Amino acid sequence: MTTRLTTKDLTIGYNNHIIIDKLNIAIPDKKITALVGANGSGKSTILKTMARVMSPLSGQVLLDGELIHSKSTKEVAKELAILPQNPVSPDGLTVQELVSYGRYPHQSGFGSLTREDRQMVNWAIDVTNMFEFYDRPVDQLSGGQRQRAWIAMALAQQTDILFLDEPTTFLDMAHQLEVLKLLKKLNEEQERTIIMVVHDLTHATRYADHIVAIKSGQVVNAGSAEIVITKDVLREVFKIEADIIMDPHTGRPLCLPFDLAGSG
């Protein structure tokens, strides 16, 4: 497994209250990794710290062997992009204007967009199928369209690594599939390394190459869906009893919960 992004004894907390203790994770390069776990398990905290949004109490996040938290914000923004949960844009901001913000790390000072910047903005809008909404205010878009616009902004940063914190939250099923299929396409066609916090285990097994199951800030298991999505892991991480069947479309395991662990 080739990896560029790792954590080493990563400890994270708030006001010295430790949430994640000495975490070691390796993210496969050019693959989709899903972080899964129950609410409050620390998934989003891990994602934010790996993306340098939060600082650890101790330990390291390494990108290509270098400490990510010792780099400047602009340097990091050229190497990775993050899409937080439920991002909000200013009223009236158009899709083109939002996506152009992704070019900030590549600009010097407060200069206007260069020809290369405009080409990258147009490419990002095109690859996310958002050209018909080019001049549409973001706040007038549907949930799925709005999420695609934010993904386009992240793509305009021209980074190899993309972090997403529950990218399908509050979207209906059609828009969830729309966003996940786009992420899969970006991974397969452009070899983007994608790390996402996922709430729905079906989404994790269908779209992720690598799954990290987290409980109370610790890795319970990590690997392919076949390795991670087992009755024992589901019982430990989610406190559920479940049947495991094979997805007829992907050949990967699917989880069918039927009871709480320890019930009956």
Per-residue confidence (pLDDT) for residue 15, from 0 to 100 = 82
- Helix H or strand E segment including 154: helix 143-156
Domain ranges of the chain: 1-79+160-238, 89-158
User: What pLDDT does 106 receive?
Assistant: 86
The Cα angle at residue 163 between residues 149 and 11, in degrees rounded to 5: 150
DSSP state of 102: G
**161-165 vs 80-83, strand pairing mode:** parallel
DSSP 189: H
What is the CATH T-level fold of the domain 1-79+160-238, as seen in this structure?
Rossmann fold (3.40.50)
Q: What is the pLDDT of residue 195?
A: 98
**Res 182: pLDDT:** 93
Q: Given this model, what pLDDT does residue 85 score? A: 87
Per-residue pLDDT of the chain (264 residues; tens, 9 = 90+): 799 999 999 999 988 789 999 999 999 999 999 999 999 999 999 999 999 999 999 999 999 999 999 999 889 999 999 998 888 888 999 999 999 999 988 887 666 889 999 999 999 999 999 999 999 999 999 988 999 999 999 999 999 999 999 998 888 899 899 999 999 999 999 999 999 999 999 999 999 999 999 999 999 999 999 999 999 999 999 999 999 999 999 999 999 999 999 875
Give pLDDT, residue 88: 87
In the chain the first and final C-alpha atoms are separated, in Å, by: 42
**Per-residue model confidence (pLDDT) at position 1:** 79
Q: Given this model, what pLDDT does residue 79 score? A: 93
User: Residue 97: what pLDDT?
Assistant: 96
Dump the DSSP string for 223-256: ESHHHHSSHHHHHHHH-EEEEEEE-TTTS-EEEE
> What is the number of other CB atoms lying within 10 angstroms of the CB of residue 114?
13
Q: What is the pLDDT of residue 165?
A: 95
